[in-house]
Structure 1
Amino acid sequence: MREEVYTFLKSNKEIKKFVRTQPQWYRHLLRRPTETDKLQLAAMQYYKKTIPDKVEQFSQSINMATMMMQMFRMMREKD
């Protein structure tokens, strides 16, 4: 493996962990060492850190909060 790719993996623990769980990336980086940006994107998608994933997580949190508010209102109305 090229020194710059090795240094890149060593400097970012999350991507290093991703490459260990997805070993096909070792071969991919050996053949195309300049594609570290694709590796970063794949890792972000794997760990759900892309903008659409964050928006979805946020909307789920909002839905959960509104559901809890409705439950509290229903409990108040019963009393």
Structure 2
Amino acid sequence: MEPEIYYFLEKRQDLWNFIRKNPEWYRNLSRDASRISEMEQLAKQYYGRTVPQRLEKAQHNIQLVRMLIDMAGAFRD
């Protein structure tokens, strides 16, 4: 693996962990360092950091809060 890629990965702990869990990416980056952006996108999907995944998580949290508020209101009555 090229030293620049290695140092980049050392700085990004999330990508470093992604490679440890998906060792085929170590081989891919050793052969073609330009695939780093592809790996970053897959890591975002893996960790749930894409925009649709974040929106879904926020929506789920809002529903949970609404449910808790409704339950608290039911206990008052």
TM-score tier after normalising by the smaller chain length: over 0.9
User: Helix, strand or coil: the match of 1:49?
Assistant: coil
For structure 1, list consecutive stretches of 5 or more residues without a partner in the other structure: none
Question: Counterparts of 2:55 and 2:34 in 1: how far apart (Å)?
Answer: 30
Q: Count residues with an aligned counterpart.
A: 77
AA aligned to 2:71 is: M
Give the superposition deviation at 1:27: 1.2
TM-score, with length taken from structure 2: 0.92
Partner of 2:58: 58
Question: Counterparts of 2:10 and 2:67 in 1: how far apart (Å)?
Answer: 43
For structure 2, list consecutive stretches of 5 or more residues without a partner in the other structure: none
Partner of 1:49: 49
User: Helix, strand or coil: the match of 1:15?
Assistant: helix
Give the superposition deviation at 1:7: 1.5
Structure 1 runs, 4 residues or longer, greater than 6 Å off: none
AA aligned to 2:11 is: S
Question: Counterparts of 1:50 and 1:68 in 2: how far apart (Å)?
Answer: 27
User: Helix, strand or coil: the match of 2:14?
Assistant: helix
TM-score, with length taken from structure 1: 0.90
Give the superposition deviation at 1:41: 0.7
